[in-house]
Amino acid sequence: MPGSQPLVRAETVHKRFGLLPVLKGITMEVERGEVMVIIGPSGSGKSTFLRCINHLEKIDAGRIWVDGVLVGYREANGRIHELREREVAARRAEIGMVFQRFNLFPHMTALENVTSAPVWVKGMRRDEAGALARELLETVGLGDKLRAYPSQLSGGQQQRVAIARALAMDPKLMLFDEPTSALDPELVGDVLDVMKDLARQGMTMVVVTHEMGFAREVGDKLAFMDGGVVVEHGPPRDVLGAPRHERTRSFLSKVL
C-alpha cells in the first residue's frame, strides 16, 4: 500500500545499450522525505539509473517501484506487461526531473514555461496555473524575471526556472541529473540553495551530482556507483569521510 513502504524501491535493475551493460543489478531504496545522493565517475550508470526511475529508459531486468506502483509496467497473473505510452506519461507526471541542460522552451517566457505543463497535462485553469507559476518563480528567487525569455537569463536562472517548472506539477519525487554541471562556478550556489530549501521542506529527492559539499550537508544517504553497480552506500559523512572500498577512496581522492 502506498505510504507504508519506501517511496522509491529498485530491485536488481539491469540495463544495456546494445551489447554494452550499463546497469548490472542496482538495488536501492529511498524513504519518503529523504535525499539520496548518487556520485561516481562519468560512465558509471548514474544518469541512466535516474532515467530508469521515470521510465525515460526501459530496464532490461529487475523492478522499480515509485510509491508502491511498478514503473513502466503492470503485473498480471505473474507476468509483466509494458504500459501504454499514455499510461506511462500519466505516472511520469508525478515525478519531476531536472536535467543538466535546462530544456526550456525558448519561445516562452519564464512564466509561460512554468505555466504550460499544469495547463496541458493536468488540465489546470490558466489563471490558476499562472498564479502557481508566479509563486514558484518567486520561491526560486526569480519573481522579477517572469517576462524574461530563456535567452535573457543566465544558466543558473534558467536552471531555477526548470526546477520551478518541475515543481508546478506537484511531484511526489524530484530527480536531479547533475543540475549544476553545465553552470559557471559562480552560478552554482543559487541552484544548490533552491535544492536545499526543497530538502528542508521534505521533498523526496534523488540527486546525481559532483557537488560533494551538497552531498555531505543535505544528503540523507549516499551511493557511490562505478561500472554499473553500487560499490558503497551509507550516510554521506561516513562514505565521504571514511570510505571502506579502495575504488571509493580512489575516486574521492580526485574530487575532494
The DSSP line for 170-220 is --SEEEEESTTTTS-HHHHHHHHHHHHHHHHTT--EEEE-S-HHHHHHH-S
Phi-psi region of 205 (alpha: psi -120 to 50; beta: other; left: phi over 0): beta
- Span 187-240, pLDDT tens digits: 999 999 999 999 999 999 999 999 999 999 999 999 999 999 999 999 999 999
Q: Is 221 helix (H, G, I), strand (E, B) or coil?
A: strand
The C-alpha atoms of residue 197 and residue 213 are separated, in whole angstroms, by: 15
pLDDT at residue 1 is higher than 50: no
Buried b (16+ CB within 10 A) or exposed e, 41-58: beebbbbbbbbbbbbbbe
Report the predicted TM-score, pTM, of the whole model to 2 decimal places.
Answer: 0.94
Percent of the chain residues topping a pLDDT of 90: 85
The three three-digit cell numbers of residue 233, written as one number: 552506500
- Span 52-63, pLDDT tens digits: 999 999 999 999
The C-alpha atoms of residue 52 and residue 54 are separated, in whole angstroms, by: 5
- Span 14-23, pLDDT tens digits: 999 999 999 9
Contact between 196 and 218 under an 8 Å Cβ cutoff? The reply is yes
* Amino acid (1-letter code) at residue 86: R
Dihedral of alpha carbons 234, 12, 53, 252, sign: positive
Alpha helices in 6-154 (DSSP H): 46-53, 85-92, 110-120, 126-139
CA nearest to 47, candidates 165, 155, 158, 175? 175
CA atoms within 13 A on the CB side of 156: 15
